[in-house]
């Protein structure tokens, strides 16, 4: 019986909190190439990074590439792919992969990894899950439904119908002849008899001098 083989597949999806430029740098360091040559991998669509490997090698690839910031999917290789060894990168990507090699397993490909401090979890052995549909609120607020009377005789008025029985009449204001009214020029003084502004008294400063 032949050993099952797998493909390492990348769809251009990054790990949460990772940016494209950093992941490309990490991947370039992994494969010992220039980041620009890896741009087709991040253009979307299915890209096979490594094909026809066993489950152990596939898992090592997945862990290493996901540590670099990529989201990796391991797919079972089609039976037709098993007899023929395929290149590390499918030609459809149009990427120059002639000089690409894999870094050692366990190598630190992140230049400045973010330190994650694990959160301490207390004893949760006594915690259990409630049954489906159980009321998990100990003292729920009782909501009394409002009683609705008989509304079978209520109907909707026609569109545009006057639904106010005794509307308040609104008398339009009468406007006289305004044909002789014109707009004043900009900056014109429109106050007929403006009040003269009182000037503030200036004290005698003749005795002051600067030293």
List, for residues 39-74, the tens digit of each pLDDT value. 888 888 888 888 899 999 999 999 999 998 999 999
In a domain, 100, yes or no: no
Assign 10 to helix, strand or coil: strand
Q: What is the pTM of this model?
A: 0.38
The span from the CA of 104 to the CA of 60, in Å, is 10
In a domain, 1, yes or no: no
In a domain, 34, yes or no: yes
Q: Which domain holds residue 15?
A: 6-80
In a domain, 138, yes or no: no
In a domain, 133, yes or no: no
Q: What is the CATH number of the domain that holds 18?
A: 3.30.1390
- Residue 60: C-alpha distances to residues 35, 48, 53, 76, 102 (Å): 22, 15, 11, 16, 11
**What is the chain's mean pLDDT, rounded?**
77
In a domain, 33, yes or no: yes
Which pLDDT band holds residue 146 (cuts at 50, 70, 90)?
A: confident
Q: Which two tokens stand for residue 157?
A: 């008025």
Strand order in the sheet with 6-14: 47-53, 6-14, 70-76
Total structural domains within the chain:
1
The span from the CA of 122 to the CA of 125, in Å, is 9
In a domain, 49, yes or no: yes
In a domain, 201, yes or no: no
The pLDDT tens digits of the residues spanning 1-48 come to: 578 899 999 998 889 988 888 988 888 888 888 888 888 888 888 888
The span from the CA of 87 to the CA of 94, in Å, is 13
The span from the CA of 10 to the CA of 40, in Å, is 11
């Amino acid at each position: 019986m032949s050993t099952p083989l797998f493909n390492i597949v990348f769809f251009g999806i990054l790990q949460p909190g990772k940016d494209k430029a950093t992941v490309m740098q990490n991947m370039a360091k992994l494969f010992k190439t220039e980041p620009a040559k890896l741009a087709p991998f991040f253009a979307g669509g299915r890209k096979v990074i490594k094909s026809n490997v066993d489950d152990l090698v596939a898992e090592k690839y997945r862990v290493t590439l996901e540590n670099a910031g990529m989201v990796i999917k391991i797919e079972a290789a089609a039976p037709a792919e098993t007899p023929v060894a395929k290149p590390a990168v499918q030609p459809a990507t149009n990427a120059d992969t002639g000089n690409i090699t894999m870094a050692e397993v366990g190598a630190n490909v992140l230049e400045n990894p973010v330190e994650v401090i694990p959160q301490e979890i207390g004893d949760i052995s006594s915690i259990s899950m409630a049954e489906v549909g159980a009321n998990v609120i100990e003292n729920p607020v009782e909501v009394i439904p409002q009683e609705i009377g008989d509304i079978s005789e209520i109907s909707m008025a026609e569109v545009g119908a006057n639904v106010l029985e005794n509307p308040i009449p609104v008398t339009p204001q009468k406007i006289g002849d305004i044909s002789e009214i014109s707009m004043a020029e900009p900056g014109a003084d429109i106050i007929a008899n403006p009040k003269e502004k009182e000037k503030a008294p200036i004290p005698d400063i003749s005795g002051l001098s600067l030293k």
